[in-house]
Amino acid sequence: MSPLSPRPQRLRPFEPAVVAFGSNLGDREATIRAALDDLAATPGVRLDAVSSFLETTAVRPHGIDDLAPRYLNGVAMISTALDPHALLAELQRIEDEHGRVRRERWGDRTLDLDLIAMAGRRVDDDRLVLPHPRAAERRFVLEPWLEVDPDAELPGLGRVDALLARLEESREGRDVAASGREADEGGVS
């Protein structure tokens, strides 16, 4: 290479990524807005779009918990030059700065930031799984994601609109089964 050749570029290209956020303690909206500002201010991260905030019932490992404080959830579309583990570390730093205390799995929290997908990448190690393994079952992820990207796809699982439709169908199926059971148990007929 001649001395005048340009030096090889080592800058990583920006890749699209999807971050889901949730909060069910404290001033949920203020926490989420501050966390999104922190995300936008992180070197190597650009905030491209933010969904509406959706109010949802808490989900525990054993199922839906109507008694727990309700969540505000949504999704942010970002572009990032960070690698997936570095991005996860930044998300965890932002969680920690907003008082997230890690106690129990799926427990109440001031802030939860999950990395849902990053371009078409697959990762599976003890720190990070991509795409996020439970995203396809979470309406509170799929619905806001679809709002900001109508053509969204979950790598390996297909289009988000189809996944959401399937989720709603299975929920309707369960609701019909449950109302049938209630009628049986009611002993009216």
What residues line the site for Mg ion (CB under 5 A)?
112, 114
What is the contact surface with ligand ADP in residues (CB under 6 A)? 88, 102, 105-106, 112, 114-115, 127-130, 132
Give 45 or 88: the residue with its C-beta nearer to ligand ADP. Answer: 88
Contact (CB, 8 A) for 93 and 78: no
For the CB of residue 91, give the shortest distance to Mg ion in the complex, in Å: 8
Contact (CB, 8 A) for 161 and 154: no
**Long-range contacts of residues 133-136, Cβ cutoff 8 Å, at least 24 apart:** 135/20, 136/163, 136/167
Nearest to 12 by CA among 84, 92, 116: 84
Of the residues 28, 108, 114, 138, which is catalytic? 114
Give 128 or 167: the residue with its C-beta nearer to ligand ADP. Answer: 128
Give 45 or 141: the residue with its C-beta nearer to Mg ion. Answer: 141
Of the residues 28, 38, 108, 112, which is catalytic? 112
The single residue listed with the structure tokens 């340009």 is: 6
For the CB of residue 86, give the shortest distance to ligand ADP in the complex, in Å: 13
Of the residues 28, 38, 108, 109, which is catalytic? 109
CA angle at 79 for the pair 141 and 120, rounded to the nearest 5°: 65
Catalytic residue list: 100, 109, 112, 114
